[in-house]
Amino acid sequence: MASYFLQIGLNSLIEAMQVCLLAACFLLIHNVSRVLNLGLAAAFLVGGYGYYAGLQIFDGALGAFFTAFLGLLLLTVINLSLLRPFIAKGLDLMGLLVGVGLWFIVQELYSMIYGAQGHSLVEGVLPTVHVGELVLPVTAVRTLVVTFVLAILSALVFLKTPLGRSLRALKQHSGVSAQLGVSERRLQAGAFFVALLVAGLMGIFTGMNEAITPTYAHSMIVSGFLAFLVGGGKDIRGVVLAALLLVLVPSFIVAAPWGDLNISQTWREVLVFILAAGLLLLKPQGLLTVRTRTS
């Protein structure tokens, strides 16, 4: 039984780290634009399908990554160009709607081109790694290592570097930041590119562990969005904690033996929303925020 739950925990941790990075992408873009950019879902799709298209054109992963990179670069230009007018006017809700629209447009384009059936980014039977009684595909191990490293680097950049301080300052005092020589447009362009690139990379890694379809971004993006909200949208530590809770807790609830009661995987997303709602009721300002006196 212990090895069973350890296997569940390890599998869920891989997804949790991807959700952590997607939530960090929401945080990064929100810091420089105050917009909740659901265009990250479009980047997730462009990453996965761009890699798949590259495999059909080139021989090897390098060409596939290059194709995905070009698609993400183009998407960054389109995404930022569409959002810039609303960012400048402070129309956050309109920015959210534009991101959703871009997501569904890209989703329908891929549905028209590739159909609704699933496509695999890895051919043949996946090799596995055995550690005691634990079994993981090699692609899952790579995903865990890369996402863990990226998550650590993201936290260090946000918390310990001048760039991270500039990003936080831009969100808190954009006028003062401009007087200090911080280029808002340049930071926005860089933040959008990095965030969409990471989201696209998560799309590739997800596609290496499951078949890609036009709707395969939904679960990951919604979880990342909820982790951003539950984490408070200000502190990357709270966002990471929220992502871990929203993935690991429902996974263990579904996997746990409940006697004659059988909780199917279809209830997992319901549990994610219930948990997110409960955490927001308890800590509406974010998991790691501390309430201070205002008078």
Q: Check residue 99 and give its pLDDT.
A: 94
Measured CA to CA, the distance from residue 295 to residue 286 in angstroms comes to 21
Q: Check residue 111 and give its pLDDT.
A: 94
Set out the domains of the chain in order of their start, with CATH numbers: 2-117+137-282 (1.10.3470)
Q: Check residue 251 and give its pLDDT.
A: 86
Strand partners, 261: 258
Q: Check residue 80 and give its pLDDT.
A: 93
Q: Check residue 274 and give its pLDDT.
A: 92
Picking from 154, 178, 286, 279, the residue whose alpha carbon sits closest to that of residue 232 is: 286
Specify whether the CB–CB gap between 289 and 283 falls below 8 A.
yes
| Residue ranges with strand state E in the chain | 128-131, 134-137
pTM, rounded to two decimals: 0.89
pLDDT along the chain (295 residues), means of 10: 74 89 91 90 96 90 93 95 91 92 95 91 77 79 87 81 69 53 76 93 91 91 93 84 90 77 77 92 81 48
Q: Check residue 21 and give its pLDDT.
A: 92
Q: Give the contacts of 83 (CB within 8 A, at least 6 positions apart).
A: 33, 35, 37, 39, 95, 98, 99
Cβ neighbour number for residue 283 with a 10 Å cutoff? 17
